Amino acid sequence: MLPLSLRTLATRTLLLLVIASAVSCSSLPPEDGIRVVSAEKRIDLTGPIVKVFLTLKVENAPTASEASRVLLAFTPTEVQHLSIVKATRAEGKHKKKAFVPLSIEASELATTAPDAPRLYSVLLSTPLKPGDATTLEVLYMLTHSLEPFPAEISQSESQLVYYRDSAVLLSPYHVLEQVTYIKMPSNRIESFTRVDPTTRAGSEVKYGTYNNQMPNSYLPILVHYENNRPFAVVEELVRKVEISHWGNIQITEQYKLKHGGARHKGVFSRLEYQSRPSVSGASSFKNLLVRLPPRVHSVYYRDEIGNISSSHLRTDSHKSELEIEPRYPLFGGWHCTFTVGYGLPLQDFVFESVDGRRYINLTFGCPLLDTVVDDLTVKTSYSYLDVVGRTTVVLKKKNVVGEHNVPFQVYYEFNPIFMLAEPLMLISAVLLFFVAFIAYLHMDLSIRKSS
């Protein structure tokens, strides 16, 4: 009889085969005339986030009409964990070759079956004429797709995870030729599914080349390997941006962080952790890097207890980096909360548009590198000594990764006369105090006998 761990793994593999059979039997309405001449799929499993790079050479049939889109297919499980998908199109030749970004949207052609693939449309900048071919570069990222196996490990054990995918490209089109590469962080690969031809070279496994794959083909694979990279997951991040037109922008970031890897079992020995750092707690992490804008000032790092002194700030003309250490190393399933705050010079991030409005230009996303943010909230407001409340713009997004760290702008109307509100209110308050004080000195509050 197989050990319990292997029986569990075999059961999950069997379930995967059943799911794959349902997927391959689903019918997808393909784009007329499109076929994939060659496909290369590279899966990067070196970190906690799965990164998939696709190079697709697609061709439009000579007898077909112009094609304005190319469809991408994802399994329902992939859609649940899909954080971002981007595509570019190669235009020009040789030295003049350039990659033009393309828009992507959910396709209306998705089938109604619960286990059928979901389709996304890559909108071509210029239609693909009959008989022509073009090359697409696609990047998509999957979060929470690496499952620790075993689910619990001790302090001295390495973390093993497994990943499910297909040896062939799931596509609504006929694929003439394709190959899949899977890159792991180390040579320790416990097991991987073999779908001939399959080869391994060090930390990389190659599936293919496969020829003449029919539409909606799916060959399930399972990879079990070592991954001790920090599985840092920000369960909730609230970023508050407050603009003061007296020359400063104050940003406060509140983090709820956890280790999303295999849960820690047993007791924690700090002595063992410090004496054998390369062996004990290999899957834990004790420091994080925060990428901040240049010219930051008044930086602080604290939690519920108070300021945390274990942080180091490095700045130059292009960026600022804050290396922080929680009060204790984080093992699988452990949590911590902390706050990072800093100031920015107003003139570097707030500008005036041609229509007279002001706008702030900041970076969306999470400053923590190599992390997944389950729930992100960004609040932006401008302040003065107001008495009627303050308008706040609130942006929310789930499943955020580093690719979402892109510039964004918030436009607002601001009358400089409002800047006089603070000094006028302060002056009025001081004058009122002195008037009240003088009136008090001239008042006779003594009690006298009536005549």
Residue with tokens 């509050």: 445
CA angle 277, 282, 287 (to 5 degrees): 75
Give 20's pLDDT tier (boundaries 50, 70, 90).
very low
CA torsion, points 40, 222, 80, 377, in degrees to nearest 10? -90
Q: Which SS3 state, helix, strand or coil, does residue 9 take?
A: helix
Mean pLDDT of 31-56: 93
Q: Which amino acid is at 278?
A: S
pLDDT of residue 423: 74
Model confidence pLDDT, tens digit, residues 334-389: 999 999 999 999 999 999 999 989 999 999 999 998 899 999 999 998 876 555 66
DSSP 48: S
Element (H, E) at 136: strand 133-142
- Residue 424 backbone dihedrals phi, psi, to 5 degrees: -65, -40
Contact 128, 134 (CB under 8 A): yes
Closest CA to 331 of 270, 402, 399: 270
pLDDT of residue 202: 94
Element (H, E) at 242: strand 232-244
Mean pLDDT of 323-328: 91
pLDDT of residue 17: 40
Structure-block tokens of residue 324: 């922080």
pLDDT of residue 437: 85
Distance between CA atoms of residues 231 and 234, nearest Å: 10
Q: Where are the beta strands (DSSP E) in 227-346?
A: 232-244, 248-259, 263-264, 288-292, 297-302, 311-315, 320-324, 335-345
Q: pTM to 2 decimals?
A: 0.85
- Write 420-423 long-range contacts (CB < 8 A, 24+): 421/384, 421/385, 421/386, 422/246, 422/384, 422/385
Give 22's pLDDT tier (boundaries 50, 70, 90).
very low
Give 99's pLDDT tier (boundaries 50, 70, 90).
confident
Residue with tokens 């180390």: 186
Contact 195, 221 (CB under 8 A): yes
Contacts of 436 (CB under 8 A, 6+ apart): none
Average pLDDT, the chain: 87
Mean pLDDT of 263-290: 87
pLDDT of residue 263: 94
Give 306's pLDDT tier (boundaries 50, 70, 90).
confident
Model confidence pLDDT, tens digit, residues 194-240: 999 999 999 999 998 999 999 999 999 999 999 999 999 999 999 99
- Domains of the chain with bracketed CATH: 34-226 (2.60.40.1730), 232-265+275-417 (2.60.40.1730)
